[in-house]
A and B are shown apart, each in its own frame.
Chain A
Amino acid sequence: MYRRHRVIFVLLGILLLILVDHLQSPTFAFNSGQGHAPTSLIQLDTGACAPCGAPCPSARD
């Protein structure tokens, strides 16, 4: 049986990590009025050769 406080503690910990990461990000800077912050709201890389952004093997020759 789980302990309720542990569940809440773990979830709050994850939320805190997400917040820390977000508060240091260009997206947060942009939202805070720094209009020139280079955000990447749409990160799709149509030039890549794989979903992870890897280049094509032929481009590495």
Chain B
Amino acid sequence: MANLTDTSTTVPTEAAPTGLRIDGFVVLVALIGLALLGTLIWLETAPFLVGLFFLGGLLGIALYHGAFGFTAGWRNLIVKKQGAGMRAQLILIGLASLLMIPVLGSGQPGMIGAIAPVGLSLVVGSFLFGLGMQLGGGCGSGTLFTVGAGNLRMTVTLIFFIIGSLLGTFHLPWWLDRPGTDPVNLISELGVSGALVLQGIALLLIYLWVRRVEFKSHAKVDSAELQIRPTEKGWLATLLTGRWPFFWAVLVLAFGNLLTLLLSGSPWSITFAFGLWGAKIAQALGMDMSVYEFWTWDFPAQALRDSVLVNVTSVMNFGLLLGAMLAAGLANNFNATGANPPLLKPFLAAVIGGLMMGYGARLGFGCNVGAFFSGIASASLHGWIWFASAFVGSIIGVKLRPKFGLPD
């Protein structure tokens, strides 16, 4: 089965031990962390945020056990012409579209999709993100879940992701004044069924193209994305310790995004919290954030003023980190790359990749989750443009990886 994640991540590989050997310490610490933070959120905020926190944890488990990173899925297609990872992503987005577009089209008050403007800011931002994710070794979700699993290089990526996001918030207003238009919502333009049909056709065409690319190179297609039965262990052992077939992760991620929409009023996103955490740290160090236009807009200003425990994205990210830690402990694979000596070039790639992803995510209105996954599942045109532009960036990023000593 193809591995969807970056090679530098700590997901289980074929060489990982099988069976029910778990890392009891990591599992216990993750469970205590989930219980402690869950209790704090329960006591200080509202039940829906507790639900979102544990939902974040479940998504972290699915990402880890499903080895569901977007970065390597794209790279495997570009370099090895192996498309199972990319096709799993297309199925995920197709299923999420089926679930979320009718809900968003029902016009319930207090519920909005991941809709964003279309323009130069989006194209430049998503291109930078796509390039950066190949150098950084993971996208928004990939960075978070591998950090939760104890990957030190990805921790460097995350730190610079946060710095890049903060820089992006400083510059986004300038970029918004470059050529661009208001959001194009396909539900408003075509109706629910029109948006579903158009997106379904587009996703199917890309799916078939990816299969064709793989077939032309390998004379066969590995349909791992359609596999439902576990191959190495029994159902329960696989559920607890991984590795999940892609389809299990697809189901959890798609229904998880729908549940996020129903609980919070907007789809799943990740990277807004990175800019917020950076701004809070900068503010604690004495910076006046009110001089930056971004932090005077209602939503960011509210988030900056109040606790991270009432910010949906932050709460879900905390859950995701701990969920991935729990999954890595269950797989007995926490900090699996810890024995590797730190090398200068991969470290530099993590710094540059993190900065590019952070800056790009702000200009591009999100990452692979907030813009690509949730954007397309919300029938927003910006999600499709993000996909195309980030893919071009990834093609260049893949070519640059050997210069930083990173494997294909």
Question: Which A residues have a C-beta under 8 Å from some C-beta of B?
Answer: 1-2, 4, 7-8, 11, 15, 18-19, 21-22, 25-28, 31, 38-58, 60
CB distance from A3 to the nearest CB of B (A): 9
Residue B7 at the chain A interface, CB threshold 8 Å: no
A39 to B302, CA, bound (A): 9
Question: Which A residues are in CB contact (< 8 Å) with B362?
Answer: 52
4 closest A-B pairs by beta carbon, nearest first, are A53-B299, A25-B307, A45-B299, A50-B116
Query: CB < 8 Å: which of A28, A43, A51 contacts B311?
Result: A43
| SS class, residues of chain A in contact with chain B | loop
Question: Which B residues are in CB contact (< 8 Å) with A52?
Answer: 172, 272, 275, 294, 299-300, 362, 365-366
CB distance from B16 to the nearest CB of A (A): 15
Using known A-B contacts A21-B308, A22-B307, A51-B370, determine if residue A27 contacts B299 with beta carbons closer than 8 Å: no
Contact between chains at B29 and A54 (CB < 8 Å): no
Q: B44: nearest residue on chain A (CB-CB)?
A: A31
Contact between chains at B269 and A51 (CB < 8 Å): yes
Residue B62 at the chain A interface, CB threshold 8 Å: no
A17 to B110, CA, bound (A): 31
Contact between chains at B306 and A39 (CB < 8 Å): yes
Residue B191 at the chain A interface, CB threshold 8 Å: no
Q: B116: nearest residue on chain A (CB-CB)?
A: A50
CB distance from B294 to the nearest CB of A (A): 8
Contact between chains at B112 and A44 (CB < 8 Å): yes
Question: Which B residues are in CB contact (< 8 Å) with A58?
Answer: 181-182
Contact between chains at A45 and B298 (CB < 8 Å): yes
Residue B102 at the chain A interface, CB threshold 8 Å: no
17 A-B pairs with CB atoms under 8 Å apart are A1-B335, A2-B335, A7-B29, A19-B40, A22-B308, A22-B309, A43-B299, A49-B117, A50-B365, A51-B114, A52-B272, A52-B300, A52-B362, A52-B365, A53-B299, A54-B365, A57-B177
Q: B339: nearest residue on chain A (CB-CB)?
A: A1
A41 to B264, CA, bound (A): 11
CB distance from A11 to the nearest CB of B (A): 6
Using an 8 Å CB-CB cutoff, how does the interface string of B169-204 with A read, 1 for contact, 0 for none? 000100011001111000000000000000000000
A2 to B340, CA, bound (A): 12
Question: Which B residues are in CB contact (< 8 Å) with A27?
Answer: 44-45, 306-307, 309-310
Question: Which A residues are in CB contact (< 8 Å) with B163?
Answer: none
CB distance from A35 to the nearest CB of B (A): 16
Question: Which A residues are in CB contact (< 8 Å) with B365?
Answer: 50-52, 54
Using known A-B contacts A48-B297, A50-B183, A51-B269, determine if residue A2 contacts B366 with beta carbons closer than 8 Å: no
Contact between chains at A21 and B280 (CB < 8 Å): yes
Contact between chains at B310 and A44 (CB < 8 Å): no
Question: Which A residues are in CB contact (< 8 Å) with B275?
Answer: 52
Contact between chains at B300 and A50 (CB < 8 Å): no
CB distance from B232 to the nearest CB of A (A): 24
Using an 8 Å CB-CB cutoff, how does the interface string of B77-121 with A read, 1 for contact, 0 for none? 000000000000000000000000000000000101011110100
